[in-house]
Structure 1
Amino acid sequence: MGDPALSRRGFLAASAAAGVSMTALSGCGGDSDGGSSGTTTIEWWNISTTQPTKDVWAGLAKQFEAQNPRVKIKIVQLENDPYKSKMTALTASGKLPDIFHTWGGGVLKQQIDAGLVEDLTDKSKGWGDGLLSVAREPYLFDEKVYGVPFDIGMIGFWYNKALFKRAGVSEPPTTWSGFLDAVRKLKSAGITPLALAGKEKWPGMYYWAYLAMRTAGIDALRKADEDKDFTGDGFVQAGAHLQDLVDLQPFQKGFLGAAYSSPTGQAAAMGNGKAAMELMGQWAPVVEADAGKGIGADLGFFPFPAVEGGQGALTEVFGGGGGHALRKDAPQAAVDFLKFFASAATDTTLVKKTGVLPVVPAAESALTDPNLSAVQAQLKSATGFQLYLDQAYAPAVGQEVNDSVAGLIAGSKSAQQVAESITKVAKEEQ
């Protein structure tokens, strides 16, 4: 994909597809069209530039317009990187679209702190509060609602059951020591244990983030961000545990130059049966089948293992999803559209046609893939949820996490240096 956003924020929604021309921010404010009809035009900015999502979302907008004849939805679609750049500029200018895509976390908080985002706490009562709780978390600040999710997911290990069996690994490991033992068994059997896109730094970050959650605990990740200090023992231990894995040389040949979704990249190594595992989100099966051949019934999923003696729990998950927020003082029609988009009927359509996980409980019946059902079950039973670190934290801090962890995996940084580098950038951002 070339960018952390492509996989983490939805392969179908943000893959490398033909670009969409930039559109001026003309309809903000839900202004009348200037005629006597009294029609309200709402601009909806999203990153759904690929099929089938692009046509599905356009169809939903048409359906909403049919139900609300005095409302027109003007769709502005941008690929991931151009979208982020444009939204950064718009945030600085103080003018955001009526409805806009958000991943929540630190970026949304910056927009909230600037007074640019509508408080949806009261406006979403009765329909928004019934959505999957972990899906809502990235958009909650000071117990107030600033976004409505349409997608949620988590990172975990996707594995090849046939390769596990060949190596004598009878069950997916539930502890870190058991995981390292499985890696050793796979190597002894001549099997590449792990596929990794070392060229793109975000996949490596997943390991450190999860290990930090398991050692320091999920609350420590939030406190470290508040205190601007990632040098605590739990964070250094996370790096040390990752170093133990790196020392086993578990990744495919040439992993440092491998991309995520290219024909010779991480997903292809899994999809072609050349590696036993990859640490990736719920979109992984789609990308594995696209970049490689896919391994069908041999594909399984298990959560990131617990670390013995750590503060974290196996039921605390790391991931994220997509949502929509509204600009401050957006018209009621924009709120109505979010309610429509969060309905059971709409979510069922999204699950069936675009492969997202349901955020509306009533849409779960549309989920038929057993692996995605396993991911959904993990999410529903989660006792804690941590947003992707490069979204949860300020942008510069999140980037430093990616860069420093990549340095550790490449052999140029120690566990202590990773913790110190992230802390240094965090303090500079104060």
Structure 2
Amino acid sequence: MRKARGILLPLCLLLAVLTAGCGRSSGNADGIKTVHIYQFKVEISEALQSLKTKFEQEHPQIRLEIQSVGGGSDYGASLRAKFSSGDEPDIFTIGGNNERDMWLEYLEDLSGETWAKDVKPLAAEQMTVDGKLYGMPMNLEGYGFIYNKDLFAQAGITEKPLTLTALREAAEKLKAAGITPFANGYQEWFVLGNHNVNVPFAQQPDPVAFIAGLTDGSRTFAGDPIFSKWIDLLDLTVEYGNSNPLSTDYNTQVTMLASGEAAMIQQGNWTQGQIDGIDPDLNLGILPMPIDDTAEDNDKLYVGVPSNWVVNKFSPVKEEAKIFLDWLVTSEAGKNYITKEFQFIPALDSIKGTEKDLGSLGAEVLAYTDKDQALTWNWSRLPNGMPQELSSSIQGYLGGKLSKESMLEEFQINWDNLSVQ
């Protein structure tokens, strides 16, 4: 019985039985192999069951057992519990960087798979260690300022504002036309602690080196010019935003845009379905989030991979698991599920998605990515718990409890405390 990350997995109760094994069985007497899949995107759970039927029709010797855990549940904790109990899935989903390193000893090297060469470099980076690819990116997502093009036109805004000055001028025109420029959902920790504060991390010349410098003491938040510029952008959104942003949640923020109450929100293409449910005819686009007046540097969106499919290298059916993942991204049926049923932005160059499939927001994120006008997501590189602490400090600043200087000092104190744990 192998030992996992210092935890002895439960012993089998019937060791004398020749065919006995720990936990569930992965094979039947008739030769059919069962691949157990554990994933967190509950919004695709129904489509996955349909996909399962299609795959099994084409692969009668393989069965898929799919369990989706997410929404209000803690997927990470439940995944750890499954491994501790010995009920290890054959395929599961994880984030990159820190989560990749946490699970690395369980991860099968997928570098030799036929699809690996097609993974977009931006998507492969967070699951690559020493040149080896340990995960298949589930999809791409991107964010910036989603905006209502018709409201912009109504206010006389004819060009996309790609500088901080131009964004302020656009906000002034919207305000003069009786339109609320920004709906800010700053009650939500992830809106601030993941997405908003990622802006100055991603704008660093080398985000990985900057993050390492914060840990070894060679860099600090205070005095960093990019963080200072980011605060100017944050201030602008509040100055021209809805009242009570700290008590505005995600659903309210998205609804304000979808109902025409506001012209812009800081969100990503994942909002498309909810917006379409309110008004499918809105004319939407995504703007970059400019921090200064250098238009070329600012004309980028923030694009990353929310989750990755990985194969448990200790699985007795890992070859069957890899057959499924290969089918998912190489067969026409699998590709259609990714783009049309899941409405995912493909993370592989070999899969194409149309605006009809992805929605206007997804199509725009994909276009920015393919033009190499995408900056990275970096919250998965931060010390555990740091995004929540960053959000708390930003909320303190927006609520008037902290100055700019004390907010950045609090960033540093929390970073120092969490990076040594």
Contact 1:158 1:280 survives alignment (8 Å) = yes
Asked if the contact 1:214–1:310 (Cα under 8 Å) also holds between the matched residues in 2, the reply is no
Alignment CA distance shift 1:139-1:350 (3 Å) = same
Aligned to 2:49: 58
Distance in 1 (alpha carbons) for counterparts of 2:338 and 2:299: 29
- Residue 198 of structure 1, CA deviation: 2.0
| CA distance in structure 2 between the partners assigned to 1:217 and 1:178 by the alignment | 27
Contact 2:181 2:241 in 1 (8 A): yes
Q: Check the 8 A contact 1:120/1:144 in 2, yes or no.
A: yes
Q: Using the TM superposition, give the Cα deviation of residue 260 of structure 1 relative to its aligned residue in structure 2, in angstroms.
A: 0.8
- The equivalences for 1:187-336 within 5 A come to 187-205=175-193, 206-214=195-203, 218-219=207-208, 221-224=210-213, 227=216, 230-231=220-221, 233-234=224-225, 236-245=227-236, 249-261=239-251, 265-290=252-277, 293-294=278-279, 296-305=281-290, 307-308=292-293, 314-315=299-300, 317-330=302-315, 331-336=318-323
Say whether the 8 Å CA contact 2:119–2:347 is kept in structure 1: yes
Structure (1 or 2) with the larger CA radius of gyration: 2
Q: Which amino acid aligns with 2:29?
A: S
Relative to structure 1, is the Cα distance of residues 300 and 384 closer, same or farther in structure 2, using a 3 angstrom cutoff? closer
Cα distance in structure 1, aligned partners of 2:167 and 2:84: 45
Q: Compute the TM-score of the two structures, normalised by the length of structure 2.
A: 0.82
Kindly tell me the number of residue pairs found equivalent between the two proteins. 390
Question: How many angstroms does 1:269 deviate by?
Answer: 0.2
5 Å-filtered alignment, 1:20-419, equals 31-33=25-27, 35-50=28-43, 53-80=44-71, 81-90=73-82, 96-112=88-104, 115-122=105-112, 124=113, 126-205=114-193, 206-214=195-203, 218-219=207-208, 221-224=210-213, 227=216, 230-231=220-221, 233-234=224-225, 236-245=227-236, 249-261=239-251, 265-290=252-277, 293-294=278-279, 296-305=281-290, 307-308=292-293, 314-315=299-300, 317-330=302-315, 331-345=318-332, 346-368=334-356, 369-382=359-372, 385-389=375-379, 391-419=380-408
Task: Say if 1:316 and 1:372 are closer, same or farther in 2 by CA, change over 3 A.
Answer: closer
Change (3 A) 1:66 1:344: closer
The verdict on how the C-alpha distance between 1:120 and 1:367 changes in structure 2, with shifts beyond 3 A counting, is same
Distance 1:400 1:312, change over 3 A: farther
Greater Cα offset, 171-180 or 322-331 = 322-331
- What TM-score does the superposition give when structure 1 sets the normalisation length? 0.80
Deviations 1:151-182 (A, max 9, x none): 10111221112222232322121112221222
- How far the C-alpha of 1:374 sits from its partner, in A, is 1.9
**The residue matched to 1:363 in structure 2 has which SS?**
coil
Q: 1:193: how far off?
A: 0.9
Would the aligned equivalents of 2:122 and 2:304 in 1 still touch at CA under 8 Å? no
The structure-2 alpha-carbon separation of the partners of 1:375 and 1:399, relative to structure 1 and needing over 3 Å to count, comes to same
SS at match of 1:358: coil
| Distance change >3 Å, CA 243–CA 157, structure 1 → 2 | closer
The residue that corresponds to 1:24 in the other structure is none
3-state SS of 1:118 partner: coil
Q: Structure 1 residues 133, 216: CA separation in 2 closer, same or farther (over 3 Å shift)?
A: closer
More off after superposition, 268-277 vs 393-402: 393-402
The alpha-carbon deviation at position 132 of structure 1 amounts to 2.5
CA deviation profile, 1:207-254 (whole Å, cap 9, x unmatched): 3321443366645554446546542513541453245325x5222123
Give the whole-Å Cα distance in 1 for the aligned partners of 2:225 and 2:209: 8
What is the Cα-based RMSD across aligned positions, in Å? 3.0
CA gap of 1:223–1:325, structure 2 versus 1, over 3 A, is same
Structure 1 segments unaligned to the other structure (5+ residues): 1-26
Q: Is the 8 A contact 1:194 1:277 kept in 2?
A: yes
Paired-residue identity, %: 23
Cα 1:193–1:393, aligned 2, differ >3 Å: closer, same or farther?
same
TM-aligned CA distance change 1:320 to 1:177, over 3 Å: farther
